[in-house]
Chains A and B, each alone.
Chain A
Amino acid sequence: MAIPERDQGYFDQPATRKKLWLLLWGFCALTVVLELFIEREPHFPQENFFGFYALLGFLACSGCILVAKGLALFLKARTDYYDDADDQ
């Protein structure tokens, strides 16, 4: 990046980014650890599986991204794709 580090905004500095990554992983770990101590109120037996919601969040989101990526092959178009049609 051309901008010198001291001129970068706080959130653009590599040091901050590193801290934020640690925070993110730390929070992930915290929620999983907390799960050991909570009372469960499951509606379905699947919910009793340890880390169910972590897995659900992870799989659902990566699934959505991969599906979106796959569909993008068919659905992405240049921004002027419709221009001829709309001019008529």
Chain B
Amino acid sequence: MSEEVIKTEGLTKIFNKHLTAVDHINFSVKQGEIFGFLGPNGAGKTTTINMLITILKPTEGKASVLGFDIAKQDDSVRNVIGLVPQEYTADEDLTGLENLLLCADLYGISRNVAKERAADLLKLVELTDFKDKRVQTYSGGMRRRLELACGLINRPKVLFLDEPTLGLDVQTRTATWEYIRRLKKEFGMTLFMTTHYLEEADALCDRVAIIDHGKIVVVGSPEELKRSLGGDLITLAIKENKDVSELIQKVEHVKEVRKEDGAYRIKAELGEIAAPFIIEALRKKGYTVTRLSLTEPTLNEVYLEHTGKSMRDAEESREANFSRRVTMRRARGG
């Protein structure tokens, strides 16, 4: 089997002849990694996933999953992938187990095999005790885990997760990441996920592609991306009303100084070492440092660097909005 599990070449989707949702993107996902698409709502993440899972046909370009062309061999693709959608698709009126068996039926898995697998998966996501309860009574985290189990019923080689923790509170989100890691370890799958949560991409993904307005702006591991920014960020203010940019620039490890709103934003390779030197250098010249903060770069800074703006929520269609609201409401167990 090829190293590259997913590969796209100039993949493009244009809706209604003028709305370019995904614009000639090229990337590849390696066997066994968790690859994340990070971007704001409306950046083209879900459209990309929908093309890869053969729900949408690309307007231009091509893509393959495990060597199968998504447009020409769509049936073969569907057999080897699993999907954990953004929405809660489990039927509220059915029990957890019934939902899993329904998923199994969609893959044509025989009842006996399905029951065995369902029991294993329920155990894995710790829903065994709730398997005969209606999904209506589940909390957001439980619903999410059930969706995970559903996505795995056909033992997929590639699992697609669309915003896997949308609307969940921080604790449930962290717990869900743990389940995702565990499932990946158990089944040795390749994971492709989308998210607009920076921490999620950082915590979960081996590699991240930042996507904005349908284009990939940068790809790399979260570490690489953060390191490429050139180190840590020091923010500093002095009492005196004078420009000391040049003075700071001369300090060792300092790479870049910018003066913004009376404060200095300093990029330094090793922030924790550079900071004392900067204070020292300023004091020697008689300046008083009134405030200093040191931040390690997050993916937000990476995002900012490459798109020139902070993650923003773009205008969404009525439909997307509705399904998002429903998802959020259910996530809160409402």
Report if A and B associate in a common complex: no
